[in-house]
Structure 1
Amino acid sequence: MNMRALVVDPDVPGSLRLGTAAEPHPAPNQLMIEVRHISLNRGEVAGASQRPAGTVHGYDASGVVVRAATDGTGPAVGARVAAFGAGAWAQRMAVDTTAVAEVPAPVHLADAAALPMAGITALRTLRSRSILGRRVLITGAAGGVGRYAVQLAALGGAHVIASVGSAARAGGLTELGAHEVVVGLEGIDRPVDLILDNVGGPQLAAAWELLAPGGAVQNIGWASDQPAEFAPYSLFFIGPSKTMSTFGDVHEVGPDIAILLGFVAAGRLSPEVDWRGSWTRVTEAAQVLLDRRIAGKAVLDVEPVAAD
């Protein structure tokens, strides 16, 4: 049986189009969701052309369970859920029960769809170090991950420095909890304890020089189209070790999605949905995301499955 889905097509603008694909067949530890909303992440959109033609793309979705997992785990039929898994941008999605969380009643499903990839990334990277009372620098702070990271770092008791690419991208970050908002790295005159880097390139090398003894850089994204070049011996330091590491831990994310949803339900985390429209407008949504004309997240509403 076929369904509607956003599939990879390298021959169209943005490499994504609304087409058809076979419905998934859930494994025993997976449930089936009727997808209501999906969210786009800039890296997914930028990398779509690298996937095989016809691939159902995307990882973030929310919807309603229409088939429970046969192994007895996970939410029951009818539960409203947010989910993270491959092949999310379709009318139906099969996903591991360890990668879903039930959506609390006060939270709209469209807001829930915005949380998984960007929210998990922000939450898990901030957990890498104790941040209470620490100075945390978040680069690319106007994007989806950045805006969640600003809020979560503030909730965790950090002194939050939000770095943006231009003054025009700074809007709303103070209200989200940033103590300082800077363009690039201008005006940062004291060392920082943790850097969540969404930019890469020359700015990453410059940010490394701001790191305090014992501090850490978490590499989340790479918005720059340039490499990062480190001067000879610039990575050598006598004293408590400075570290730089990548992030890619998306194992069993359901409990963390539940934490994020709980924050939203309590009014402590804003979903930061800046663009919303029908998934028939995927080309438009992808372009404004690539052009950085969105502050936060883009969410698409999915056409419901036709009744038999």
Structure 2
Amino acid sequence: MRALLVDRSAPGGLRLGEAPDPVQAPNQALVRVTATSLNYGEVAFGIDNAPEGTVLGWDAAGIVERAAADGSGPAIGTPAVTLAPDGAWAEYRVVDTDLMGVVPQGADPGAISTVPVAGASALRALHRIGPILGRRVLVTGATGGVGRYAVQLAHLGGAHVVASTGDPAAHGESLRALGADEVVSGPAEANEPVDGVVDMVGGEQLVAAYDRLAESGTLVSVGHGTGGAETFPFGAFFGDQGRHDRSIVTFFLLACRGLSPDLTWLAGAVAGGRLDPQISWRGAWDAAGQAIEALRGRRLHGKAVLDIA
């Protein structure tokens, strides 16, 4: 089968070549991939650290070519959205049926391919915060793929959404269109304490966001875009002065169970227009190098999608 192979001598670190067909386990479906979306983590770190010739990729939309032998998951011919640690950047991938969602007929595969990492991470992070109706939720790194889904989902859940971005003048209008009630240049600029935080940045911003948590508030650490350390000042974890019962929760999407209903729901919401996938770059998979360089250079805000020929 054709696939994008790790080749650090090629533009973006990938070249289009031939790879062995994937081997299907009993609890896995074989999916013919029609579109994949790129995530900053896999292009910034995965390509540099993977062996040459590896087929990477987390997110993919496609059609079930062969159903799981154990009877789980969707039937042959079903449009599906899929998540796995690798294998998305190829004509075919095998996926655990617990990491697949069913997609409405006729939905745009490119839009659906943005769902797995970005959409599911945002949804699970908000679930971890708890009921958000009428509560204040801060989203850091709000212009990224996960951040934009988190803003929309928090708004749909009835939260007062505070979106944090490095350039409110440039991105404020688009974030408000997605449902942000406030747009700030950093967590410290939030006017009032917040009940929950979805943090995509890490480093000093995570520390500042934790400081804005109200009593019994929860910060969910999803991303680590800065690569910086989190150094808390003395007294940050005292429980007095409205700081009682605050918590920080770490997050790893592939360790979550029961993702199929989440992926199905998110795919339906995107297909039905309730969620905007926020695609900022789209092209054929032989142009992947262009998207990868733009992602690495932080020039894309939103999602990059490759259509698989």
The match for 2:283 is 277
SS in 2 for 1:18: strand
- CA shift digits 1:30-83 (9 cap, x unpaired): 111111100000011111211222211011001111111122222221111111
Separation in 1 of the partners of 2:122 and 2:64? 27
1:1-308 to structure 2, matched below 5 A, reads 3-47=1-45, 48-85=47-84, 86-128=86-128, 129-166=130-167, 167-185=169-187, 187-238=189-240, 240-250=244-254, 251-303=257-309
SS in 1 for 2:124: helix
SS in 2 for 1:149: helix
Separation in 1 of the partners of 2:109 and 2:216? 41
CA contact (8 A) 1:142 1:170 kept: no
- Cα separation, partners in 2 of 1:12 and 1:235, compared to 1, 3 Å: farther
Separation in 2 of the partners of 1:237 and 1:52? 47
CA contact (8 A) 1:142 1:169 kept: yes
Once the two structures are TM-superposed, the CA of residue 158 in structure 1 deviates from its matched residue by 0.4
Higher mean alpha-carbon deviation, 262-271 vs 80-89, is at 262-271
Separation in 2 of the partners of 1:211 and 1:225? 22
SS in 2 for 1:172: helix
Structure with more of its chain in helix, by fraction: 2
- CA shift digits 1:84-119 (9 cap, x unpaired): 112111010011112112211252111111111111
Once the two structures are TM-superposed, the CA of residue 125 in structure 1 deviates from its matched residue by 0.5
CA contact (8 A) 2:281 2:303 kept: yes
Q: Which amino acid aligns with 1:164?
A: T
Q: TM-score of the superposition, structure 1-length normalised?
A: 0.93
Once the two structures are TM-superposed, the CA of residue 163 in structure 1 deviates from its matched residue by 0.6
Q: Which amino acid aligns with 2:281?
A: W
CA contact (8 A) 1:214 1:241 kept: yes
Percent identity over the alignment is 48
Higher mean alpha-carbon deviation, 37-46 vs 258-267, is at 258-267
Q: Point out 4+ residue stretches in structure 1 off by more than 4 angstroms.
A: none
Unpaired runs of at least 5, structure 1: 304-308
CA contact (8 A) 1:9 1:49 kept: no
- Cα separation, partners in 2 of 1:197 and 1:287, compared to 1, 3 Å: same
